Amino acid sequence: MKLVFDIGATRLKRGVLDDRGGFVSIDDRLIQGDLQTELKSLIAETIAKYPIGFIGVSFAGQTTDNKISSAPNIDLGELKGADFTEWTRRRFSINGAIDNDLKCAALAEAADRSQVSALFTLYIGTGIGGAYIENGVLIRGANNNAGEIGHIPFEKTPFLCGCGGEDCLESSASGTALRKWRDYYGLQERTLSELNASNEPKAKEVASRFYRGVDRAVRTSAALFNPQAIVLGGGVAVSEKSVLARARAAANNAFRSAVTVELTRLGDKANLLGASMLQG
Ligand SMILES: [Zn+2]
């Protein structure tokens, strides 16, 4: 059996899969205290109950070569700079692996659409990110950051991106961007569709900016990778139907492309599923 975790900015999701890849259990909690103490106790609790042979982790931050390389808001404890496989072997005598959440999601999406040989995964949730898989090969780049479309330059913003960069796409088209722009303009908490339907010019502008960002993400990924399909996922894309419609319209304008845009069929389980496909 496999034990998998999906580590977000504030939440930690745990799943257990049987040998056929089906979920036996999934639960989720707020991260309290340091990450390694929390992980150690959850792993110990799970292996006491199930015969776990592998531990896979999807991580909402930068990972390189099975190590967490950047996690600005998470207290990592002894996981900082550690090789995750060595850590799980030393602590629990079990093989493990860790990868960036978009890379995990892309592995799961590609497995779910095995007939698509060139697939770009575009997720719009807290952030906006992508990953490209061609003929089963995940394109990683030099530091595992290939496809991170949230950090291409886009329209001017009065605040910095979470990566420290100026005018990143993620500062215009992501859940975090909606929150930052609402705060900046002093708008009350509203969803993307509520902002779009508003009569207030500033609210409408926040939504329009978001949609222009979706256009940019779709047309840029189509031009750079020439995918057969783009699979759209992430909390904002899944909950807001207008994002799929907008992405499909943008795909029709993409460069010499017949790319289709489809919504994820994996809901919020893609990261956990992808974590179970990592190699330890
Ligand atoms: Zn950025």
pLDDT tens sequence across 114-161: 999 999 999 999 999 999 999 999 999 999 999 999 999 999 999 999
Ligand 1 centroid–CA 172 distance in Å is: 10
Instruction: Tell me the average pLDDT across 6-26.
Output: 94
9 close to 126: Cβ distance less than 8 angstroms: yes
pLDDT score for 80: 82
CA 125 to centroid of ligand 1, rounded, Å? 15
Between the CA of 51 and the centroid of ligand 1 the distance, in Å, is 41
Q: What pLDDT sits at residue 32?
A: 84
Mean pLDDT of 244-256: 92
Measure 213 CA to ligand 1 centroid, in angstroms.
13
- CA 122 to CA 260: how far, in whole Å? 12
Residue 215 alpha carbon to ligand 1 centre in Å: 18
pLDDT-derived band of residue 258, with 50, 70 and 90 as boundaries? Answer: confident
Rounded distance from Cα 154 to ligand 1 centre (Å): 10
| Residue keyed to tokens 């530091």 | 143
- In CATH terms, the superfamily for domain 114-263 is ATPase, nucleotide binding domain (3.30.420.40)
- Name which residue leads in pLDDT, 3 or 79: 3
End-to-end CA distance of the chain: 14
Ligand 1 centroid to Cα of residue 171, in Å, is 7
Q: What angle do CA 242, 244, 249 make, to 5 degrees?
A: 95
Give me the pLDDT at residue 72, please: 66
Q: Which residues contact 28 (CB under 8 A, 6 or more apart)?
A: 11, 12, 13, 14
CATH H-level superfamily of 2-103+270-276: ATPase, nucleotide binding domain (3.30.420.40)
pLDDT, greater one: 17 or 11: 17
- Token duo for residue 47: 């292996």
Neighbours of 202 (CB within 10 A): 14
Is the pLDDT assigned to residue 10 strictly greater than 90? no
Whether 55 shows a pLDDT value over 80: the answer reads yes
The pLDDT, as a whole number, for residue 12 is 94
Q: How many CA atoms lie within 13 A of 67 on its CB side?
A: 11
Q: Classify burial at 153, counting beta carbons within 10 Å of its beta carbon; exposed 0-12, middle 13-18, buried 19 or more.
A: exposed
Backbone angles phi and psi of 216, in degrees to 5: -65, -45
Q: How far is the CA of 139 from the centre of ligand 1 (A)?
A: 20
The answer to whether the beta carbons of residues 200 and 187 sit under 8 Å apart is yes
| CA dist., res. 93 & res. 117, Å (int) | 36
| Residue 151 CA to ligand 1 centre (angstroms) | 4
pLDDT digits (tens, 9 = 90+) for 67-108: 988 776 677 888 888 899 999 999 999 999 999 999 999 999
Residue 205 pLDDT exceeds 90:
yes
Q: Of residues 230 and 31, which shows the higher confidence score? A: 230
Distance 73 CA to ligand 1 centre (A): 15
Residue with the larger pLDDT of the pair 80 and 54: 54
pLDDT value, residue 70: 78
Distance 127 CA to ligand 1 centre (A): 9
CA-CA distance, 190 to 210, in Å (whole number)?
A: 14
Going from the Cα of 62 to the center of ligand 1, the distance in angstroms, rounded, reads 12
Nearest Cα residue to 104 out of 54, 68, 58: 58
Measured in Å, residue 153 CA sits from the centre of ligand 1 at 8
Closest listed residue to residue 171, CA positions, set 222, 209, 203 = 209
Q: Where in the chain is the domain with CATH 3.30.420.40?
A: 2-103+270-276, 114-263
